Every structure is written in structure tokens, then in C-alpha cells.
Chain A
Amino acid sequence: MLKYNQRNKFINMSSTTLNRIVEFYINEKKYFAREGTSVALALYNNNYKKIRKSPKLKTDRGLFCMMGSCQECIVNIDGVKKLSCISKIKKNTKIFI
């Protein structure tokens, strides 16, 4: 239990205290994330895992390679279709999926 607590402390230290938390919108619904977070991850962690339909079989797709190679995570960010894994959350970023 102690070990677990120590680890928890670690997360708090690196994730929230020092960083700016900004608001952003997914389908016009307000969410919060650390400024600079990858858009793909922000979507994933807010349970928007299904972000695209495949062209032929129309199956659900989501975040996959995280390095701008597979092109699966393209979403509409501030009116432009972009790779969400290498795009960042800024204040008032508007995402539509």
C-alpha cells in the first residue's frame, strides 16, 4: 500500500502542480487538460476512443501509432483536418470528431 501511495505521489508531482491546465472542446463539450497534451491522448483519456470509421468496412478506429505514421487519428482541429497524435491542446482548441 505504501508503495502504491508513493507512486501516486509521483503522478501528482509531475502532472498537475506545475503545469497550466487549459480548457478545450470536443464536439462543443468543455473539457480540461494539461496545456501541450497530444490531442489524440486527450481524446483517448476522455473516452473518445472511436474517432474515425474505416473507409470500406466502416469499422471503428482510434489512436494507434502516436508518431504520425499510421494516419488513423485524423480529426478536425479548429476547422482543419490534422493528425491528432502530433497536434497539441492549446487554450480553447475546438475538436470535432
Chain B
Amino acid sequence: MPKSSSKKERPIEELTYEEALAELEEIVATLEEGQGQLEEAIRLFERGQALAARCGDLLEAAELKVRQVAGEELTDFEEEAE
């Protein structure tokens, strides 16, 4: 059931918010099932803490990114100052 243990774990700082959140949700679900080995559970807990911290950082740092579509290209969009 705990997929996280079998799949390769990526470094947390590489994860997007959605990826980190999805993994965190999975870990919480696994821990809430209460199965598995204690050592594995502790390891999952630590990974979960790190994922939650990553999500929090990303939320705090979130800044709307606006790009303009020009043909197939994407260019940065400069907003007019109000």
C-alpha cells in the first residue's frame, strides 16, 4: 500500500507545490492506516514534515507569474503601472 517506500523519492526542493502536497497526502493516508513498520513510519513522518515545510515555503513565496503568448512563444508580460 505505501507506494512511497517503493518508488524513488525525489529531492524535496525539486518538487512543485502540487507534487509535494500529493506526496504529503499519500504519506498521511499511509500513516493513518497505521500499518507497516515503525521505522518506516518514523521515516515517512520525517519526510512528511519536510514536504509540509516545502509546501509552506512555496505558499509564502507564491507570486503570480504572467506570460504573454506570442505565437508558439511565451514572453514575460510587463504590466502597466497603475
Chains A and B are bound partners: no
